[in-house]
Chain A
Amino acid sequence: MNAASAPSKLYSDDVSLIVVLLDANPFFWASSAAAAGDSASSHHPTTTLPFSKLLNHVIPLLNSLLLLNQLNQVVLVATGVNSCGYIYDSGDGGGGSACGSVPAICSEILRRLEEFVVKDRLQGKSPDKVVATGVSSLLSGSLSLALCYIQRVFRSRARHPQPRILCLQGSPDGPEQYVAVMNAIFSAQRSMIPIDSCVMGVQHSAFLQQASYITGGVYLKPQQLDGLFQYLSAVFATDLQSRNFLQLPKPAGVDFRASCFCHKKTIDMGYVCSVCLSIFCKHHKKCSTCGSDFSQGPTDANADRKRKTSEVQP
């Protein structure tokens, strides 16, 4: 695996380009806020975080990334339910220095997030889904947006910052996005772009565990969400060069389960096409991805066995 763009053209120090993918799924955050309200009296107040408080942690993180190095660049991408969009790019229009305009950046981010959420809702086929907690956000879309942006940076100049992607995700994984997400992960691996994940939801995310494992990023599910900024600044703000020297959190195990291509269900065992490696949960006559024929199936094997036994017996 030889990434064409990465090693020779990097700066020698810690100049970074960080693309932050922020989960803007209103269903997840609404349920999270409700849970936060409910659990004020319960014993786990720090495992849920309302969206307003989330921004209190994310915006200082963006500022601290920009503070660390004059040439650092930060891009914020929002992951909605039906669409994704670029919210903020520190590279354009920022001018010489970002100091003094932090409140301006903050208000701009908020304004654009609001516009994004409104637009996102209108793009949905059925405006209000019934199952609120099970709605997943479009992770594959935002990963693609991030990768395209980074590719553009690679191609525009010979010397460019070291890129990485930070995924702040809370919504559950949507198995229908499995193929797209895996494709994005493999292209990130080829371009040597680490994908870090910070999971703020209730359950672990198999997609993000695989993403961080395959691309060499960090996966973390913080236990105390009201200290999120400390996790973000201590773990995710570390530049790529220093990561070789520091011990960063590793997940206990990685969930490698795939989803089948036909029904988009998560499966442990299934059938694999030997030509294109597509995964199916049930036996099919033909591969839906590459069109290869599966007609020589288990039924023929039985027929052969019968023939053989009939031959052996005199």
Chain B
Amino acid sequence: MPQVRIIAKNFMDLVAALPAMKLDKLYESTFICEAVLRSLPPMAKRYVLQMLYIDTLITAKSMEEWLLPDGLSKHKVAIDRLLQLRVFLEVTDRKKETSYKINPKFQSNIQKYLVSGGTLPREPMPLSITVRLPTLEDLETYASEQWECFLLQLINSAQAEKLTSFSSSMIKICRENEPPKLTENGFQFLLMDTNAQLWYIIREYISTAEDRGVDPTDLISFLLELSFHTLGEAYNLNTLTDVQRIAIKDLADLGLVKLQQGRKESWFIPTKLATNLSASFTDSSSNKEGFVVVETNFRMYAYSTSKLYCEILRLFSRIEYQLPNLLVGAITKESLYNAFENGITADQVEHYQFCYYLLYLFTTLCVFCNNLIDSLLLYRIIICSDFFLNFCLFRLFVFFSKMHILELHKRYLQFQKMLQIRLGSGKPIKIELRSLLHIYTKIFHQRKYLKQHVILQGSWVDCCLKIQEPCD
């Protein structure tokens, strides 16, 4: 995986990063204007609608007067976005007052759309030629298969069942994945949901387009146009330009379109991945419900037929049985060590969308006294994430009531030393002690204990005094 910090909203940033002239040229197409409008934050959308039929300049001050007091930050974000994408143009007059006006090309295109709608440059082909189109379910399975195959290739090329013939451009993107180990960013990538992953890959595809001699603006406009096609309808390949024809072969490898050939004509059918291209990000429509169940003894049951999930789970747990639709495994300390060594942090394990039920991990804290290091590691997962805190406090209650706070502190110092010896990690664990004490006071409100022991040791004082702050 490329070693870049992965941000969810990445396609529009790419569009925003284009130079002004190219951006204005892009806005000549109604579809791009529509797609850009849909990708804006809600406040920005509203501003665009409001300014749609206004030809004069509106001063920035008057726009701020429309706001309630706590809306200022959202307003700023919206205005920034609008200026970045050159939907709003900023004008500064002699009195140094800024005013905004809407980009005229954008404005006229949207006005036209509101009254008469947009028309695609191509019409779906009649059924007489295409004879039998795949059903929507077939299309979806095709799309998910292709996509998973692609992702599997990225994780572990040996595992891919069939090597799809990726074009050289795609392979170039994944070049950094030579070593079979998955890096931290790689794991982060896998844990994003499909839309975000798709955007990431497409962004890489477009950024490398210039190396291949393809104008990125053409690609961007084609992709955005593609998202407005109707799902499941066939469109003739000869309506595409050369650039688009090359691009569509790559997109077929990703599962965005399905290519089919008739007797004389060949056509492409957009799948759900393509039509969702212009959907907004916050609405990430991944209503995957938890189908991973983790028991209190750390055994894990995942109901899934997908190889991809198997691989992902294998990254931090030990798979014991793999049945046709069920994966049985256990989260063990070795598997967790493995995961941590590969740089996968506990937060990511936790944030993985369908691991809602990992919180049951908590209950084995009673081994605290015996297997100190191991349980502390598990404890680190829990402490480092507020997500768990909310759910697991009741368990802690049972556990901590048996321990006096001083004793706890002594033990903690021991653990710190031993951890540093064992793992050689230089990370200060003070933060964890803070959170630990935070939990303690939260549950028991035993502030009197803290006050009594406040003068004992230097670091202790630090922690106590900072108890009132929220954990980092």
Contacts and interface: CB of A to CB of B under 8 A. Distances in A.
Interface of A: 11-15, 60, 63-64, 67-71, 95-103, 158-159, 229-230, 233-234, 237-239, 241-242, 244-247
Contact of A244 (B31, B50, B68): B68
B283 A13 contact: yes
Given A70-B279, A71-B279, A234-B50, A101 B117 contact: yes
B49 A97 contact: no
Contacts of B287: 158-159
Given A63-B113, A99-B113, A102-B117, A13 B280 contact: yes
A174 B231 CA distance: 47
Contact of B278 (A64, A70, A229): A70
A69 B75 contact: no
Contacts of B114: 60, 63-64, 67
B67 A246 contact: yes
A242 B42 contact: yes
B49 A13 contact: no
A244 B282 CA distance: 18
Contacts of B230: 95-97
Given A14-B42, A100-B117, 18 more contacts: A11-B282, A63-B115, A69-B38, A70-B278, A96-B230, A97-B230, A99-B113, A103-B117, A229-B53, A233-B52, A239-B42, A241-B42, A244-B70, A245-B43, A245-B68, A246-B46, A246-B68, A246-B71
Contacts of B119: 99-100
B172 to A, nearest CB: 32
Nearest to B53: A230
A242 B46 contact: yes
Contacts of A238: 46
A96 B269 CA distance: 13
Sorted nearest first, the 4 A-B pairs with minimum C-beta distance are A245-B71, A102-B117, A14-B42, A96-B230
17 contacts: A13-B282, A14-B45, A64-B49, A64-B52, A67-B34, A68-B38, A69-B38, A69-B280, A96-B229, A100-B118, A101-B117, A158-B287, A230-B54, A242-B42, A245-B43, A245-B75, A246-B71
A241 to B, nearest CB: 6
Contacts of A159: 287
Interface of B: 30-31, 34, 37-38, 42-43, 45-46, 49-50, 52-54, 65-68, 70-71, 74-75, 110, 113-120, 228-231, 275, 278-280, 282-283, 287
Contacts of B46: 234, 237-239, 242, 246
A97 B229 CA distance: 7
B118 A99 contact: yes
B10 to A, nearest CB: 17
Nearest to A233: B49
A247 B66 contact: yes
Contacts of A100: 117-120
A97 B43 contact: no
A110 to B, nearest CB: 15
Contacts of A96: 229-231, 275
Nearest to A60: B114
Given A63-B113, A96-B230, A158-B287, A233 B50 contact: yes
- Which of A96, A98, A229, A244: most chain B CB closer than 10 A? A96
Contacts of A95: 230
A121 B30 CA distance: 42
A237 B43 CA distance: 11
B53 A99 contact: no
A161 to B, nearest CB: 10
A102 B116 CA distance: 6
A14 B230 CA distance: 23
A57 B30 CA distance: 21
Counting chain A CB atoms within 10 Å of each CB, the highest count among B34, B49, B115, B229 belongs to B49
A245 B70 contact: yes
